[in-house]
Amino acid sequence: MVKVMNQVHPTPPKKKRVDAQGNARCRVFVKSGNATLLLAEKLTRPAADALIDSIGDNIARLGGVIACTFLITPKK
């Protein structure tokens, strides 16, 4: 399961969120129970989606089940 969310604090201005090419960057967290772990940062949104899809495909190919939730948040 993937949740796209904004953090508690307001999103920073666009000039602080984007790189030289104008791509907004985000972070990917993994949440299970009460634990939250930063998995990757400085990814574009399509790259974050591709990462989560790749992890899910590999787990399914190995016969496992995803036991966590992925969170995508904007770069702070």
pLDDT per residue over 21-76, tens digit each? 878 888 999 999 999 999 999 899 899 999 999 999 999 999 999 999 999 988 76
Residues in the chain: 76
pTM over 0.85: no
Confidence of residue 18 (pLDDT cuts 50, 70, 90): confident
Beta strands at 69-74 and 25-32: parallel, antiparallel or unpaired: antiparallel
Extract the runs of DSSP E, i.e. beta strands, from the chain. Answer: 2-4, 25-32, 35-44, 69-74
Name residue, tokens 């104008």.
22
Task: Say yes or no to pLDDT of 8 above 60.
Answer: no
Confidence of residue 7 (pLDDT cuts 50, 70, 90): low
Rounded CA Rg of the chain: 14
